[in-house]
Amino acid sequence: MARIVPLRPGGYLGGMPKAVVLLSGGLDSATVAAIARDRGYEVHALTVAYGQRHAAELGAARRVGEALGIAEHRFASASLGDFGGSALTASIEVPKDRDLGEMGEAIPATYVPARNTVLLSLALAYAEAIGATDLFVGVNAVDYSGYPDCRPQFVEAFETLANLATKAGVEGARFKVHAPLILMSKREIIETGLALRVDYGLTHSCYDPVGDRACGRCDACLIRRRAFEELGMNDPALAR
C-alpha cells in the first residue's frame, strides 16, 4: 500500500517550503518566526535597517534569529529615515507614560510613513529571488491598533499587488501574506510564543531605548508589560 505523504503548506510534497519572515527583533515578529517554523516552513528571515533612530532592534533580531535556528537571515537596508515624518526616524519626541486606554485613539507619532509597504516590498523581492511564495509579517490590529498598515485590508491589498507585480505571479505562483497575529491580543501573542518556546528576553520592542535597555515607559513597553502581568509574569526584556 502506498504511503500517504501529507501535503505541506504551499502544496509541496515533502521537503520544506521556504517562507520569508520579516523579523524586526520585537516580540511580535519573534512570535511570527516561531509560528512559521512550527507550520513546517524553512524560515528565511529578513531584517531591514530603515533608518531607525536606535540600532538595538537589529541586535535583537540577530539574537532572536540565532535562538530560533532559522535557515537564513538576511539584513537589508532602505533609507526610509531620510524622509522623516516619524518619532522613530526623526527628532520627534516618543510619547511616554500614556494611559493604555488613550492609545489607539489616533495614529501615533511613532507611525513611519509607508514603513510596512516598504518592508513587505523588500520581503517580496527576497522571496521571489529565492523561489518562496509565503511571506510572514507580525502586524497586529487589536492591542494598540492605530497604524493603518497593520490592518487586514492592507495585508490583502499587498497580496493582490504581489501577484501582479512579479514574474513569479505572472507565471502562476500565488503569493500569500501570512499575518497570524493580526487578530490576537498581545496576551494571546505571548501565550502562543511561550508555547513555541520563544525566549522573549531576547526581543526588543522599546521605541526609545538607552543603549539596548528598554525605557519601560513608551507605548510599546507599556503594552507588553501589561500583557505579561496579565499572565502573572514579569516582562523578561524589562528585567534585562
Residues at the site binding a second copy, with contacts judged by CB under 8 A: 74, 76-80, 82-85, 107, 111-118, 121-122, 124-126, 128-130, 148-149, 151, 153-154, 157-158, 160-162, 164-167, 169-171
Closest CB 94 distance from a second copy, rounded Å = 17
Q: Which is nearest to 218 in space by CA: 229, 207, 227, 205? A: 207
* Cβ-based nearer residue to a second copy, 79 or 234: 79
Q: CA-CA distance, 17 to 41, in Å (whole number)?
A: 5
145: Cβ contacts below 8 Å, ≥ 6 apart: 104, 151
Closest CB 39 distance from a second copy, rounded Å = 23
3-state secondary structure (DSSP) of residue 184? coil
Closest CB 88 distance from a second copy, rounded Å = 12
* Cβ-based nearer residue to a second copy, 138 or 169: 169
* Cβ-based nearer residue to a second copy, 37 or 115: 115
Q: Which is nearest to 93 in space by CA: 114, 108, 78, 79? A: 108
Segment holding 36, helix H or strand E: helix 27-38
* Cβ-based nearer residue to a second copy, 28 or 149: 149
Amino acid identity at 196: L
Closest CB 90 distance from a second copy, rounded Å = 9
